[in-house]
Amino acid sequence: MALEIQTSTLQQRRQTFAHIARRFGEDRPASRYEEATLDIQPMENFYYRPTWDPQHEIYDSSRTRVVMEDWYELSDPRQFYYSTYTINRSKMSDNVEKSLDFVDRRSMLAGIDPDWQDMVRFYLLPLRHAEWGANMNACNIADVGYGAAITQSAIYAAMDRLGIAQIIGRIGLAMGGPEALAAAKEVWMLSEHWQPLRRLIEDSLVIEDWFEQLVMQFLCADGLLLPLVYDAFDAQGDAHGASGLSMICEFMVDWKKDSARWTDAVLDKAIKESQQNKDMIAGWYAVWEPRVAVALAPLADQVLGAAGSDVLAGLRQNLAERAARLGIAPTAEVSA
């Protein structure tokens, strides 16, 4: 019997969902990120206004003064949707676990100079609470933000902040058990060096405009606080035998870069959209960046001593350059 093998091609009728094809203007294959993001949030036909905010619809773009023609312009350059995000972060947290094991087996945290151990308890452990504040801010952006592009990335950032708080918690447990964490909370609540930062974080929790909150948290606060703690303080620790701590904090160093990439992409799109957006964001930057710098000054002085103010000035300069690349003109205050 003769056997004839043929291939037959089945042409699929659609390359992607109809709402994605309408957006593209053609029916072409879309990436998973695009399919999991674009136009996911309802935009119309809301029946009841939320009882907790009857001035607005449940999803309402007027909750911020930033105006976008298309809110899906604010996409994530990392293209994180649920599966890529979780895979990426699980790899990063595996590295943290390995570092913790490595450091634990060699008792590297106990080998840090006793004076510097106290310093780490002073500057690092209370940051759990600052990270919790950042988590709340990111949650709020996810809650009241507009468009799944920004709210999706914001809730991932919120989870990351809890992750960082947990890593700091693990360090605290390794350096003195639950008592060390309780003591760190006392420092956060009572130490005079921490009160300006605590006040700043608490003020940021009640910012009305979610885009202002984004500028404050992810550009102004993270832009100064993270490099100060995880670069400058960490480098200072090397001289005191704290290289084990650097290994564990590598997550935060990687995350800082990852998050800045997202923040810059979002701000860049919003600023390029209109002069009005640009002025708005530049105004928020001019309000919050100096406040963050003032709040961090006592910590920088305490940890770095006389070099503290110079290091902080250098970080402000770096942040001003980053902001200038985004189109936020340096204010007289920063350049002075």
Minimum Å gap between C-beta 288 and other proteins is: 29
On the CB side of 324, CA atoms within 13 Å amount to 10
Nearer to other proteins, 31 or 107 (CB): 31
Q: Burial-class residue 209 by CB neighbours within 10 Å (0-12, 13-18, 19+).
A: middle
With vertex at residue 148, the alpha carbon angle to CA 142 and CA 154, rounded to the nearest 5 degrees, is: 35
For residue 11, give the DSSP letter. P
Q: By CB under 8 A, is residue 95 in contact with other proteins?
A: no
Token readout for 218 is 């992810």
Q: Which residues contact 77 (CB under 8 A, 6 or more apart)?
A: 261, 262, 265
How many CB atoms within 10 Å of residue 8?
A: 4
The Cα 234–Cα 230 span in angstroms is 5
Token readout for 59 is 């999803």
Minimum Å gap between C-beta 6 and other proteins is: 14
Token readout for 321 is 């350059």
Token readout for 97 is 């676990």
Q: Using the rule CB under 8 A, give the single segment among 70-78, 95-103, 108-116, 216-224 that binds other proteins.
A: 70-78
Nearer to other proteins, 11 or 275 (CB): 11
Name which position in 6, 9, 90, 275 contacts other proteins (CB under 8 A): 9
Nearer to other proteins, 40 or 183 (CB): 40
Nearer to other proteins, 104 or 258 (CB): 258
The Cα 80–Cα 87 span in angstroms is 10
Q: By CB under 8 A, is residue 84 in contact with other proteins?
A: yes
Minimum Å gap between C-beta 72 and other proteins is: 16
Nearer to other proteins, 135 or 153 (CB): 153
| 43 within 8 A of 59, measured Cβ to Cβ | yes
Nearer to other proteins, 84 or 195 (CB): 84
With contacts defined by CB under 8 A, how many residues of the chain interact with other proteins? 13
Minimum Å gap between C-beta 81 and other proteins is: 10
Q: By CB under 8 A, is residue 78 in contact with other proteins?
A: yes
Q: Using the rule CB under 8 A, give the single segment among 71-79, 160-168, 175-183, 310-318 that binds other proteins.
A: 71-79
Binding letters toward other proteins, positions 10-49, x by CB under 8 A: x------------------x-xxx----------------
The Cα 207–Cα 222 span in angstroms is 17
User: Which residues here bind other proteins, judged by CB under 8 A?
Assistant: 9-10, 29, 31-33, 76-80, 84, 88
